[in-house]
Amino acid sequence: MSTGARRVAARVAAAVVMATALCATAHQRLAAGTLQPAGTSPAVSAAPSPGGGSATGPGTSPSPGSGTGSGAGAAVVARVAGARETVVSRRAVVAEGAAGRRTVDCRRVKCVALTFDDGPGPYTGELLRHLAAHQARATFFVVGQNVAAHPSVLRRAAAAGHEIGNHTWSHQDLTKLSAGAVRAELARADRAVKAATGFVPALVRPPYGAFDNAVRTGIRRPLVLWSVDTLDWLHRDSARVARVAIRSARPGGVILFHDIHPTTVRAVPRVLKALSRRGYTFVTVSELFGGPPPRLVYTGDAPPRH
């Protein structure tokens, strides 16, 4: 795995002390605005996903016996017994399991979730290389018909630990479809992702960020929108995209990009470098919440259409 070479020996006993001494300040910050912390979920989950992929994300990260606050820390450490601890920056502590699966406590470290919509596409492979170079994980909200066209790059993304979310089969505005058509759009994309990766996505991002009560109640999975829109689909300018992302990043943030645009992919190294220097750890959406996100993530103000 990408972080394998950076392992730093640290005993689990030491992690108990650190985990219990620090509290959920980051998650409390997440509670501001419309973003809700994940209830009583701990910010670290070492529960492995069956089969090793992350596409099922929070759906396979149960946290039996975990509590909140320092109790969660102790429970977490118990579950990562045998894991290595890897220090990836002064402020980030990442525990990596034997299978290369890692756990990040976003209550303790500065996390940001980069999300890439509408792929996979011809530039997704290059993006994966950029992310790997910075030990960054991201979340891909994929369009089913693009998955069917580019299954191997999605398989590589999942194998690298990135999270895969459902962005429907054909990118239609779900508020304009019948309940049955919404289900069909999601189900067809689920099947494409499962065929490529072996997993069904646990998260959904509705195209255009568009949803209403019918869409919301008809989809049982978390709807994940964003806190920062780089408007990369509109401004095909790498420097601008990077500037907006860097300037707008906040701990607990979810930043929206589109990896179907080469200008966006070329902006990513600059974003990764600048935010790494500021102490950020790049996590998947599920890592950000340490488990299942709330039903709605960053629905905030009416999001701009793209």
For Zn ion, the closer CB: 66 or 115: 115
Residue number, 207 or 290, with CB nearest to Zn ion: 207
Closest CA to 127 of 19, 232, 228, 260: 260
Q: How far is the CB of 168 from Zn ion (least distance, A)?
A: 8
Closest approach of Cβ 233 to Zn ion, in Å? 8
> 3-state SS of the chain: helix, strand, coil percent to 5?
40, 15, 45
Nearest CB to Zn ion, comparing residues 118 and 185: 118
Tokens 């070492």 correspond to 46
Q: How far is the CB of 116 from Zn ion (least distance, A)?
A: 10
- Cα–Cα distance measured from residue 297 to residue 306, given in angstroms and rounded to the nearest whole number: 18
Place of tokens 């408007």: 231
Q: How far is CA 63 from each of CA 72, 107, 291, rounded to the nearest angstrom?
A: 9, 16, 8
Sign of CA dihedral 219, 221, 222, 226: negative
List the catalytic residues.
117, 258
3-state secondary structure of 228: strand
Smallest distance from the beta carbon of 167 to Zn ion, in angstroms?
6
The residue of the chain with the least Cβ separation from Zn ion equals 117
Give the nearest distance from C-beta 108 to Zn ion in angstroms: 32
Q: Is 101 helix (H, G, I), strand (E, B) or coil?
A: coil
Kindly tell me which of 66 and 139 has the beta carbon lying closer to Zn ion: 139
Q: Write the CB contacts of 273 (distance below 8 Å, at least 6 apart in sequence).
A: 134
Q: How far apart are the first and last CA of the chain?
A: 34
Q: How far apart are CA 283 and CA 163, in angstroms?
A: 9
Q: Summarize as ranges the residues that interact with Zn ion (CB under 5 A).
A: 117-118, 207
Of the pair 58, 121, the CB lying nearest Zn ion is at 121
